[in-house]
Structure 1
Amino acid sequence: MSTDSLLVRKDDLSATRLRSGDDERLADGQVRVRIEQFALTSNNITYAAFGEAMSYWQFFPSGEEGWGIIPVWGFATVSHSLHPGVAVGERLYGYFPMASAAVLTPERLSPERFTDGAAHRSALPSVYNQYLRTRSDPLYTADTEPLQSLLRPLFLTSWLIDDFLDDNDFFGARPGVALLSSASSKTAYGTAFQLAQREGIEVVGLTSAANKAFCESLGCYHRVLAYEELDQVAADAPCVYVDFAGNGALRREIHTRFANLKHSASIGGTHVDQLAASGAGKNLPGPRATLFFAPAQVKKRSGDWGPQEFGQRMVRAWQAFVARVNEGPRPWLAVAQHRGTAAAQAAYAEVLAGRGDPRTGHVISMAR
């Protein structure tokens, strides 16, 4: 058997190629999984854009200089096992390569999960190394697998952003305004869904003129403004900025305009061509732009609440969000299924370019 992978040039994310190679031989204690579906969103573009700085390329090394494999979230089934605690046929949710199969080394097994103990992943954030066993996963339902692939990792980030801001009392911007760029992105509107439940916070979505109507239709923003309408927010309003776009020019405009900007959080980079300009937030008026790192908030809250309470809060928030996403005759998200390597390559190009309907979510299978 062989494994198909999509490789991306680390220094030119638009350059891709497909690779097919024989399956690697399993060692004792390893399992091979067939990756049956994964989501492809702007979040994955962020993984690539910050691949070196945040070590995302290290999870699934390509073995080829200059080329990387982008991590994705999805579902897989164990096809071969040399581990006594993991059975062939078991279904898993987790972090996989953009490929048709992967080899894992299960360690620290529990009924709910295990960790990939591969040596090259040992120093990487543990939240990305855990694989959930769907038979014991409280968030899992078989009929919502595509939505879980698309929204679950993004919503976890959204939920943690909201919690982080509330945990810090919005850095003194409550009452005040939360400005969210790239408002049509799934992580942004998941954050807006949470923030809208907070007292004293006006949630303002910033987006392109083309996506304004879509963002307004969601109902989770108090106001939606096109980027050129930023002057409709009072310049002296206490505010926080949550940057999902990575657009350096917009970040500078916001830092310059708002004298009472209390916190500036950088989440992702959907505007890849602007990443060089975005930098790390140096030489800007107001607070330093700070990269939000979700695993750090997971660690803090797991300590504050305990792992069980953390999980219960997450489940309640997820269930409320998914119910809203699926609500009514026109849900927030429509799933587009893509099968095969060429389809995966084409979908990646579309997402990288920012083309397509924001109401569409891409779910891909490269497995034969």
Structure 2
Amino acid sequence: MENDIVSVLEIERKAIANSRLIDTPAQPLDDGQVRVSVDRFALTANNITYAVFGDMLAYWEFFPTEPPFGRVPAMAWASVTESANSDIAVGSRYYGWFPMATETVITATATRDGFRDDGAHRQPHAPVYRAYVDTKNDPMYDDAPDGEDRHTLLRGLFLTGFLAEEFFADSGGGVASGEAPYFGAGQVTVLSASSKTAIGFAQRAKERGIVKVIGLTSADNVEFVKSLGFYDTVLSYDETDQLDASIPSVSIDMAGNPTVLGAVHKQLGDQLAYSMTVGRSHHDAPNSTAEDAAALAGPTPKMFFAPTEVGRRQQEWGREDYAQRCADAMTKFAEGSRSWLTIDHRTGVGAMAQAWADVHDGNVAPNVGVVVVPNG
């Protein structure tokens, strides 16, 4: 074993502002397992969302531990430092879901692209959540000096936005049977427009050019969102009454704030053809209830689950075509991000808790991405 002690950041499940850093003994490997050192991981509002929905969507079960604390998964790069699996070599490097920790042990099965986590606790999870891609087989790999940082921060978020935009573009598969793209809408309203998932969605929607792209954001972020050039109009949350209610519309909600969503539904009413819920960047907003959803004007919001859409697109496009489309789109997005996204490195074990606190408390500007290097 490379290290005798593993440092892990744990989050209190019912009070996610609270975190603790614990040291645990490194576990010996069983047959088929690999030990990986976590090189760098992203800490964004999405990680906060994973904690908020940890029970509902089983994020706490990725790397289980005893309640009341839990381990939040993060998109990361990691290197194999010890292997009891003849198909996986020491020194190989992978992109995927890892704990916010210095290292972890995974029960691995080699795949065409890398390996799959086949731990008993991972069996209920979607395949995309259990997949780790070897950098040697990764069509998206960016070998620029800041490439890994940008992909750690953006890849998972962008691909969610990419898939959501593709969903609207073919109206959830309805275009094949004669339905118009974007459910016949002329505009799409994007809630939490400064979030990285929203920016990825907006970039794709603007490029496609089917609908007018309207961004809703906090007053403090309006100028930043305008500067991106992906939104035709940018409004603050208290300006929802300026949304054009004469145009058939769809909405995509990354905020998860029932007050803001309610205002959008109230303004657009029956002109709202589809309401999609993706994330919850406003983690401190009141929880939405079934009664809240039932009281909304217009359609009932529908949750978008990216892993389901991955499966649909792989079946429709084929795995190779799907991978190439994602790689082409992600490469363009990552390159463009160099004009608006600054990397904030947090180095060392002690930096993990402060990084969590800063992101949780909203102390990170939308044009900054936090990358933690736990073993630095």
Contact kept? 2:243, 2:268, Cα under 8 Å: no
Alignment of 1:44-193 (within 5 A): 44-62=47-65, 64-110=66-112, 112-143=113-144, 144-168=147-171, 169-170=180-181, 172-174=183-185, 176-193=186-203
Q: Distance in 2 between matches of 1:126 and 1:68?
A: 22
Alignment of 1:324-343 (within 5 A): 324-326=336-338, 331-343=339-351
Residues 170 and 68 of structure 1, relative CA distance in 2, 3 Å threshold: farther
**Deviation, structure 1 residue 199:** 3.0
Q: Amino acid of the residue matched to residue 91 of structure 2?
A: G
Give SS of 2:300's match. Answer: coil
Contact kept? 2:249, 2:274, Cα under 8 Å: yes
Aligned residues: 361
Q: Distance in 2 between matches of 1:305 and 1:56?
A: 28
Alignment of 1:1-368 (within 5 A): 1-62=4-65, 64-110=66-112, 112-143=113-144, 144-168=147-171, 169-170=180-181, 172-174=183-185, 176-259=186-269, 260-277=271-288, 281-326=293-338, 331-367=339-375
Task: String of CA shifts for 1:236-285, please: whole Å, max 9, x gaps.
Answer: 32111111011110111111111201111111111112141466733322
Contact kept? 1:48, 1:57, Cα under 8 Å: yes
Q: Distance in 1 between matches of 2:336 and 2:253?
A: 24
Runs of 4+ with deviation above 3 angstroms: 277-280
Q: Please provide the CA RMSD for this pair.
A: 1.4
Matched with 2:174 is none
**Percent of pairs identical after alignment?**
38
Q: Amino acid of the residue matched to residue 211 of structure 2?
A: I
**Deviation, structure 1 residue 65:** 1.8
Q: Distance in 2 between matches of 1:24 and 1:162?
A: 43
Q: Provide the TM-score with structure 2 as the length reference.
A: 0.93
Task: String of CA shifts for 1:337-359, please: whole Å, max 9, x gaps.
Answer: 00123211111111111122211
Which structure 1 segments of 5+ residues have no match? none
Q: Distance in 2 between matches of 1:223 and 1:181?
A: 12
Contact kept? 1:249, 1:278, Cα under 8 Å: no
**Deviation, structure 1 residue 177:** 1.0
Contact kept? 1:339, 1:365, Cα under 8 Å: yes
Contact kept? 1:251, 1:278, Cα under 8 Å: no
Give SS of 1:105's match. Answer: strand
**Deviation, structure 1 residue 142:** 2.8
Q: Distance in 1 between matches of 2:286 and 2:41?
A: 26
Task: String of CA shifts for 1:177-228, please: whole Å, max 9, x gaps.
Answer: 1101111111111100001022330001101111011101111111111111
Q: Provide the TM-score with structure 1 as the length reference.
A: 0.95
**Deviation, structure 1 residue 107:** 1.1
Contact kept? 2:240, 2:267, Cα under 8 Å: no
